[in-house]
Amino acid sequence: MTQVSLFYRFGAALVIGVLVGLEREYAYGGPDREIFAGARTFALMGLIGCTSAMIADVLDSPWMLAVAFSLVGLLLAVAHAIDAWRGKVGLTTEMSAMLTVLAGALCYWEYLPLAAALAVGTTVLLSLKFETERFVQLITRQDVYATLKFAVITAIVLPVLPNQGYGWPPLDVLNPHKIWLMVVFISGISFLGYVLVKVVGPRQGIGLTGLLGGLVSSTAVTLSFSERSQREKGLAKPFALAITVAWTMMFPRVIVEVAALNPRLLRILWGPMVASGLVGLAYCVYLYFSQRTNREGGLTVSNPFELGPAVKFGLLYAIILLFAKAAQVYLGQTGVYLSSIIGGLADVDAMTLSLAEFSSIAGGLDAGTAARAIMLAAMSNTAAKGGIVLSSGSPALRRALWPGFALILVVGIGVAFLI
C-alpha cells in the first residue's frame, strides 16, 4: 500500500466525519446550546474507525476494531445517560456517531463509494427531521395499513408464486409470478406518486397537483378538475394546465415501465413517446404563460394501494396479456393493434406491461409491432380521458384543452406508424 493511498483513505474518513458533524452542529448547536459531538468530534470518530481498521489489518486480528468500537459505544452510552438525566431523549446523534466510526473503517478497506453513500445518506436523513415529522403527522391509519399490505404482497406473496407458464398457446403466457410482479411494479410507481403528494402537499398549486397527481392517476386528475370546472368558471386554463400535465406524465411513465421490462423495445419506442410528450409539454408551457394564477387548487388523492384494486389490476393485466397473445396467434398484427386500442381505453399501464413482457419472450411479439401497439394504447387512453373532459368539463375547459388534446393525438398516431 502506497503512502498516497493510505492518506487518501484517512482523508476520506476525515471528510465523512466532518460532513456528519457539521449537520449535527447546524441542527442542535448554537451560542447557547451544547452538544456532546460536533464537527471535530465526528471527524475524530471517522479517523478512529479508519485507524482501528488499519491496526486490525496490521495485526491480522479483528479484535482491535471491536475494542475501539466498544469503547466508542461506551462513551456514547455515558453521553446518552447524561442527556437523558437532563431530560433530552433521543438516540439519533449517538447512532450517527457509531455509523461514522464504521464508515471510517470502510474507508480503510477501500469501500470508498459505499462509505461516501452512507455519509451522504446519513446526513440527508438527519437534515430531514422536521420534514419527516410533518410527513408522519400527515399519514393516516389507512395509509399505514395500505403500506403494510404492499409490503406483504411484495415480500411474502411474490416469492412463493410459481414462476412458470401453464398450458399451450395462448395460455402459456400466464405466469403467476410475472403477473404479480407487474402488480407490485405498477403499485410501487403509484405509491411513490402518492408519497410525493403527501410530502409536497395537495394544495401547492394547480399545475403541481397535476404533475404529482399524474403519477398516481391521470384519470383521477381529469375527473377531478373537469368536475370542478363546472363550479369554478374562472379557472378553465389552470385546470386545463393541470389535466395536460397529468396526461403528459403518462409518456415518461410508459418509458420507465418499458425500460424496466424490455430495454430492446425501449430503443424503438422512446422516440415516439418523447415526441408525444414534448407536444404535451409545449402545450403546458403555452397554458402556463397564457393565464397564470396564484390561486391554489387541491386534489384529494387517496392511497393508491388497496388489495382489491391490486388484484383487479393483476386480473386485468393477465386478461390483456392473454388477449394480446390470442390476437397475435389467430389474427396477426391487426389483432394486436385492435387489442391495444381496446385495452388502452381501460388501463394503459396494464397494456404497456403486457406488450413489453410479450415482446421479450422467445417467439413472442415483434418489437416494432409491440411499439406501435403501445403507442396506440397510449393514444386510446388519451382519447378516453379527452372524452371525460368533453362529457363532464365546462365549455371554457373544453375550449382551452382541445387544441393540445388534438395535437397529442395527431402526433402520437402519426409517429406510431412511422416506427
The CA distances from residue 255 to 248, 262, 310, 405, in Å, are 12, 10, 21, 20
* Boundary (domain end) residue, out of 67, 100, 127: 127
Short-list 210, 219, 349, CA closest to 283? 210
For residues 88 and 21, state if they share a domain: yes
- For the chain, residues with pLDDT lower than 50 are 202-203, 293-299
For residues 152 and 112, state if they share a domain: no
For residues 63 and 164, state if they share a domain: no
The three cell numbers of residue 350 are 396494464
**pLDDT at residue number 14:** 93
**pLDDT at residue number 366:** 82
The phi and psi torsions of 373 (rounded to 5 degrees) equal: -65, -40
**pLDDT at residue number 203:** 47
DSSP state of 109: T
Contact 404/237 with Cβ under 8 angstroms?
no
Q: How far apart are CA 167 and CA 173, in angstroms?
A: 9
For residues 76 and 141, state if they share a domain: no
Short-list 208, 212, 204, 239, CA closest to 224? 239
Q: How far apart are CA 387 and CA 243, in angstroms?
A: 13
**pLDDT at residue number 294:** 46
Short-list 327, 320, 375, 366, CA closest to 343? 320
Q: How far apart are CA 416 and CA 368, in angstroms?
A: 10
Q: What are the pLDDT digits (tens) for 220-252?
A: 778 777 877 887 677 788 888 888 998 998 899
* Boundary (domain end) residue, out of 107, 127, 147: 127
For residues 44 and 188, state if they share a domain: no
Q: How far apart are CA 296 and CA 187, in angstroms?
A: 28
For residues 96 and 228, state if they share a domain: no
Count of CB atoms situated within 10 Å of the CB of 86: 8
Contact 180/315 with Cβ under 8 angstroms?
no
For residues 85 and 176, state if they share a domain: no
Amino acid residing at 118: L
**pLDDT at residue number 87:** 72
Which residues touch 407 (CB under 8 Å, ≥6 apart)?
279, 283
For residues 108 and 156, state if they share a domain: no
For residues 93 and 230, state if they share a domain: no
Q: How far apart are CA 321 and CA 352, in angstroms?
A: 10
Helix axes 176-200, 236-261, angle to 10 degrees: 140
Q: How far apart are CA 266 and CA 260, in angstroms?
A: 9
Which residues touch 386 (CB under 8 Å, ≥6 apart)?
401, 405, 409
The phi and psi torsions of 369 (rounded to 5 degrees) equal: -65, -40
How buried is residue 345: exposed, middle or buried, by Cβ count under 10 Å (0-12/13-18/19+)? middle
Domain with 306, as residue range(s), is 135-416
DSSP SS3 for 37: coil
**pLDDT at residue number 162:** 84
- DSSP, residue by residue, 324-370: HHHHHHHHTHHHHHHHHHHHHHH-HHHHHHHHHHHHHSTT---HHHH
**pLDDT at residue number 175:** 77
**pLDDT at residue number 54:** 92
**pLDDT at residue number 206:** 59
Domain count, the chain: 2
Short-list 150, 152, 180, CA closest to 353? 180
For residues 147 and 293, state if they share a domain: yes
For residues 222 and 368, state if they share a domain: yes
pTM above threshold 0.85: no
Q: How far apart are CA 278 and CA 320, in angstroms?
A: 28
* Boundary (domain end) residue, out of 106, 127, 148: 127
For residues 149 and 100, state if they share a domain: no
**pLDDT at residue number 296:** 47
Short-list 395, 380, 68, 404, CA closest to 233? 395
